[in-house]
Amino acid sequence: MKGITNTAELLNLYNLELDKLLEISSKYIKNTVEFCSLINARNGKCSQNCKYCAQSSHYNTEIESFPLVETQKVRECAIDALKNKVSRFAIVTSGKTPDESDFDKMLEMIGEINKVDGLSSCASIGILNEEQAKRLAEAGLKRFHHNINTAPSYYPSICTTHTIEERINTCKLVKKYGMELCCGVILGMGETIEQRIEMAVTLAEIEPDSIPINILMPIPNTPFESYIDKIDEENVLRTLAVFKIANPNSVLRFCGGRMRLSLENQKKALKTCVEGLMVGNYLTTLGRNPEEDIVTIKEIGKEII
């Protein structure tokens, strides 16, 4: 199915009456919802200066830092995730790129996840070079997660220690070596409506299998600590709808920050444009109880896959 990627047309859709816009996006979704979860496998001390991030060493956020966890802990958490109807499980590490001293251990973790019947492996471990992408594919990694985070035109306002081109190149390497790609954004970082449209079109060019949608949760002592009012619930819904219309073959997935939406609006999104949920807690912020998410999916008449 081909999405709409004309910028002017998407902007017109964005500005439609909300119920009409959601009615249009609902034509592109299935009656199923996919659950995934993660383990924060290495936390803090990141060299990058992303202005939203609690893990950046550039800001005094006072989070707990810890080195790469043991493989056994990853396996235990993966097995436990099955209780919450999760079908994908990710290892997530801080840092610009995978630490070569830890890379073999990360490959071992992927192997352990793949041994858990009913789970598909995922990893979010930073910007990759070609050899790393190749080794991940050879290790059996099913899906790699790497966000563009925002529009290309806005990226220099978010981070200056790496470029969006480096991120997009990682996405290309993931696809080159036959892995699925999870690539999304963070909304509410001061971007304009036009830049939200730009994000939708950029993602359509990348063609990810999954598009995680995060809504900024401002972290104290980061440059964006006061950015709580940069997007409201209605504009989150409008953005989700346009993303789905531009990317009908990608699963839009609620991730960090969805608790900024009322339960009513979370349900509205799940009925009209969102087909995936990251359940449980996130990296440095809290999520929703998975049992409550299971109840919500049943209440709206959808099936968890």
Is 304 inside any structural domain?
no
Report the run of H or E that residue 112 belongs to, with start and end. helix 100-114
Is 282 inside any structural domain?
yes
* pTM confidence score: 0.96
Is 2 inside any structural domain?
no
Report CA Rg, the chain: 18
Is 1 inside any structural domain?
no
Query: Residue 178's domain is classified under what CATH number?
Result: 3.20.20.70
* SS3 label, residue 145: strand
Could you list the residue range(s) of the whole structural domain that residue 156 is in? 7-298
Q: What span, in angstroms and rounded, lies between the C-alpha atoms of 255 and 211? A: 10
DSSP-assigned letters across all residues of 275-305: -EEE-B--SSS--B-HHHHHHHHHHTT-EE-
Is 303 inside any structural domain?
no
pLDDT at site 1 = 84
pLDDT in tens, 188-245: 999 999 999 999 999 999 999 999 999 999 999 999 999 999 999 999 999 999 999 9
pLDDT at site 281 = 55
Question: Number of structural domains, the chain?
Answer: 1
Kindly state the tokens that stand for 293. Answer: 């998410």
pLDDT at site 82 = 92
Residues in the chain predicted with pLDDT less than 50, given as ranges, are 282, 284-286
Is 305 inside any structural domain?
no
Q: What span, in angstroms and rounded, lies between the C-alpha atoms of 54 and 63? A: 7
pLDDT at site 285 = 45
Q: What span, in angstroms and rounded, lies between the C-alpha atoms of 142 and 265? A: 31
